């Protein structure tokens, strides 16, 4: 699928996976709209050429529809939407502080799973308005799960459940949207060196990297971004979740 002259949406675009993906899509010629919370957009550095930050809360239909209006107004056909927005709090179901807060579980599922679905459905609505290419394709939605969807660790009940929901959504969404020429693919990253990892000590980071079979290091956001563009290029990838984890299989802790 040709990206030059088209529009792309990336959520969570102010940092980490989203920032790297937005930058590469813009480099490939897409007009990129980076959705993120207002406070994240305000704190982010000036984006590279070709990227416009738009404040948006992925859990809100009104907020995402308002952000989508900027994309529609651009006149460029929306071809790509990448869901990178997410949260990853840790809490045991029963721990020293008591039972897992139900509101915390709900909020994680709301951001990670409901937010992903919200952007997917509204992006699909806009993508479907464009003319198909010579192969009948209109666009692709790339979601972000996690290997925690398969090997959730201690303290990851909410996170693992939300990411497993994204994996389960992938094939059903791909089948739903096939008639419109819209593909749906999910990436399940392992341990990526995002700003979230910067809070860990060098010792912890080294230990995490040593647990990866090969290459024995943390993944880089740029590698996630390259996988996104590989998916956009490969028209036969659809309805699949791709692990990007260096063959890592997470232990219980």
- Cite the active site residues: 159
CA dihedral 188, 190, 193, 194 (to 10 degrees): 40
Q: Report CA-CA distances (Å) from 89 to 38, 107, 152.
A: 20, 10, 13
Question: Cβ-count burial of 126 within 10 angstroms (0-12 exposed, 13-18 middle, 19+ buried)?
Answer: buried
For residues 137 and 159, what is the distance between their CA atoms, to the nearest angstrom?
33
For residues 140 and 177, what is the distance between their CA atoms, to the nearest angstrom?
10
Q: Looking at residue 77, what DSSP letter applies?
A: P
* Cβ-based neighbours of 152, under 8 Å, separated by 6 or more: 159, 160, 161, 164, 250
**CA pseudo-torsion sign 83, 158, 170, 221:** positive
Q: Looking at residue 219, what DSSP letter applies?
A: B
For residues 112 and 43, what is the distance between their CA atoms, to the nearest angstrom?
22
Nearest to 18 by CA among 76, 78, 58: 58
Q: Report CA-CA distances (Å) from 11 to 105, 133, 179, 195.
A: 21, 25, 25, 16
């Amino acid at each position: 699928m040709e990206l030059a002259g088209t529009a792309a949406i990336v959520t969570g675009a102010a940092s980490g996976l989203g920032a790297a993906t937005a930058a590469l899509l813009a480099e490939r010629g897409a007009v990129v709209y980076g959705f993120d919370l207002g406070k994240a957009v305000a704190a982010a550095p000036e984006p590279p050429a070709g990227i416009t930050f738009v404040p948006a809360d992925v859990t809100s239909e009104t907020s995402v529809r308002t952000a989508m209006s900027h994309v529609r107004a651009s006149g460029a056909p929306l071809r790509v939407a990448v869901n990178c927005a997410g949260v990853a709090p840790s809490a045991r179901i029963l721990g020293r502080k008591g039972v897992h807060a139900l509101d915390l579980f709900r909020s994680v599922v709301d951001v990670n799973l409901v937010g992903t679905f919200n952007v997917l459905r509204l992006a699909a609505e806009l993508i479907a308005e464009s003319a198909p290419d010579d192969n009948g394709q209109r666009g692709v939605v790339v979601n972000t799960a996690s290997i925690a969807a398969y090997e959730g660790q201690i303290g990851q009940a909410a996170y693992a459940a939300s990411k497993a929901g994204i994996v389960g959504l992938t094939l059903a969404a791909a089948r739903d949207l096939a008639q419109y020429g819209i593909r749906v693919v999910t990436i399940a990253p392992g341990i990526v060196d995002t700003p979230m990892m910067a809070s860990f000590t060098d010792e912890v980071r080294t230990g995490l990297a040593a647990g990866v079979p090969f290459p024995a290091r943390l993944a880089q956001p740029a590698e996630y971004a390259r996988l996104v563009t590989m998916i956009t290029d490969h028209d036969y990838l659809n309805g699949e979740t791709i692990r990007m984890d260096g063959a890592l299989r997470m232990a219980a802790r």
